[in-house]
Structure 1
Amino acid sequence: MSDGASISYDSRGWARCLCRTFIRNTNFGADWLDVARTRFSDTFRPPENDWAAAHGWDRGSFATFLGFTLTRERLVTHGVGDTILFLVSEDKIRIWPEMGEHDFTSSPALLCSHPGRSAFDDTEIAFEKATHHFVAPAGGWPAGTRLIVATDALAEWVIRALSHEDRLSRLNLISCHTDHAAFASWVSEAISGGEVRRDDCAIVVVEL
């Protein structure tokens, strides 16, 4: 999942390029990012006579990224920015990237379409630090294990809960909707009621 920064040039297109590149190649690293940048340039670079778009292009496009690969033995998660994966297994909650309620800001580290324009350092060490391995228990992941990926407004709402039980309840609530309309209705009510910050709200739920 990738959440584009709305103030940057065609951030939706950049987010899509990141996701599509990861689907084709899960080898998360500097070479992977170069492929995404090339794909974005080939597809979304504005014409030279469009001065306003060219100015935005030169500043770069920015987006979070959360990708994972799952086997019977382990879950490998790659996270840059404030899109969060919650691993819920036997009522235990683990998250990546690790963030507290005060870590959600308007300027998270993001992947940029141009090298050297982001707080995220495009080095192999940085990619390694953005990667975490969750090892499955002996015998594999228990039935009912869930992977819940949420963009920042929903992730912040979950992490803001003071107790483990409240966090689990909030995760159950955002992941229980069986169709888009029901989820959209709940998000609208939660934003109107001041529970969830007004921002893009998206989730992916995988249940084993």
Structure 2
Amino acid sequence: MKLLFRGTCPKDPLGSDINEDRWAFDEDRGTLALCDGASESFNSSVLAQILGDKFVLDPAVTLGWVDNALTDYASQHDFAGMSWSRQASYERGSFSTLLGVQHIPGNKTVEVLAVGDSLAVLADSGRLVSSWPYSDPERFKDHPTLLATLPEHNAFISSSGFWTTHGKYFELGELESPRLICVTDALGEWMLRQTQSNYDAVGRLLALTTEEELVALVVEERRAGRMRIDDSTLLIAAFDLEE
């Protein structure tokens, strides 16, 4: 798996607010992760980066895996040294999506794990083939399940239906020129909605070559009212089907 494009556009391209989207990629392991920290939660970009970094090294997500990530998160914060207001915010928790991808060359498949509303799209020769966890843009109105620094919020990971609910396999064997497009929610909703309206959103994204072009696209679509204002991140990967 090769990473062809990575780029992001924050809520305000000219502002100083933190972009809570984070990503990680390991070409040797064939793993990729995109995480979107919840803006209203405490220091969520840190949690998002920890989850992404951990996934690309070890994609077998279990409750113990998440607990280890939370230990890493806690180690990066000095609770005793915080003001009372920051302590209160910390105790309310931090939340993040996790979109994790593992390429399995021998089976010509891509395993996709989606906790939350970051979106993976499989395209072939510029055509949308499949998407996960949503195919209907209306689903972005739902309240997504997120990973949290509050352990009680993560109990769903140990359920017997965890993979059935959150996982999917993309089959590559019959495709000519597969591309994997990973996006955070505002960009994902836009892509599905525009595709539904017969606009070639997939082709538009695949044609991007620089982050500046992505920012220009996002700003244009926001101004036209076709895209929500939120951090918007795009990753595009390709596969060697001869592996």
TM beyond 0.5: yes
Q: Tell me how far 1:124 sits from its aligned partner.
A: 4.0
Corresponding residue of 1:44: 77
Distance 1:76 1:136 in 2: 11
Distance 2:222 2:147 in 1: 27
Contact 1:11/1:63 (8 A) holds in 2: yes
Alignment of 1:9-28 (within 5 A): 9-28=42-61
Answer whether contact 2:44 2:95 (CA < 8 A) is retained.
Answer: yes
Distance 1:66 1:182, change over 3 A: same
Q: Distance in 1 between matches of 2:79 and 2:191?
A: 39
Q: Which residue of 2 aligns with 1:67?
A: 100
TM-score (norm: length of structure 2):
0.76
Name 2:20's counterpart in structure 1: none
> In the alignment, which residue of structure 2 is the partner of 1:179?
210
Work out whether residues 13 and 44 of structure 1, in 8 Å CA contact, stay in contact via their aligned partners in 2.
no
C-alpha displacement at 1:197, in angstroms?
1.0
Give the counterpart letter for 2:104 in structure 1: T
- CA–CA separation in structure 2 for the residues paired with 1:45 and 1:175: 42
Residue among 101, 114, 118 paired with 1:79: 114
In structure 1, the partner of 2:183 is 150
Aligned to 1:8, the other structure's residue is in SS state coil
Q: Distance in 1 between matches of 2:216 and 2:167?
A: 34
Q: Which residue of 2 aligns with 1:112?
A: 148
Equivalent position SS for 1:203: strand
Gaps of at least 5 residues in structure 2 are 1-33
Shift in CA distance, 196/68, structure 1 to aligned 2, threshold 3 Å: same
The CA RMSD measured in Å over matched residues stands at: 2.1
Q: Does 2:195 align with 1:159?
A: no
Q: Deviations over 1:63-107 (max 9, x none)?
A: 111011002221100001110000112534201113422211373
Change (3 A) 1:180 1:48: same
Aligned pair in 2 of structure 1 residues 31, 190: CA closer, same or farther (>3 Å)?
A: same
Task: Note the C-alpha offset of 1:163.
Answer: 3.8
Which of 159, 162, 171 in structure 2 is aligned with 1:127? Answer: 162
Structure 1 gap ranges (5+): none
SS at match of 1:93: strand
Contact kept, 8 Å, 1:86 with 1:93, in 2: the verdict is yes
The answer to whether the 8 A contact 2:121-2:128 is kept is no
Q: Percent of aligned pairs with the same residue?
A: 25
Counterpart CA distance in 1 for 2:50 and 2:82 is 24
| Deviating more after overlay: 20-29 vs 43-52 | 43-52
- 1:171 & 1:92 partners in 2: Cα distance? 7
Q: Deviations over 1:125-151 (max 9, x none)?
A: 35312111223326xx53x21000011
Q: Distance in 1 between matches of 2:124 and 2:78?
A: 43
Task: Give the partner amino acid of 1:97.
Answer: P
Length-normalised TM-score, structure 1? 0.88
Aligned twin of 2:35: 2
8 Å CA contact retained: 2:172, 2:178: no
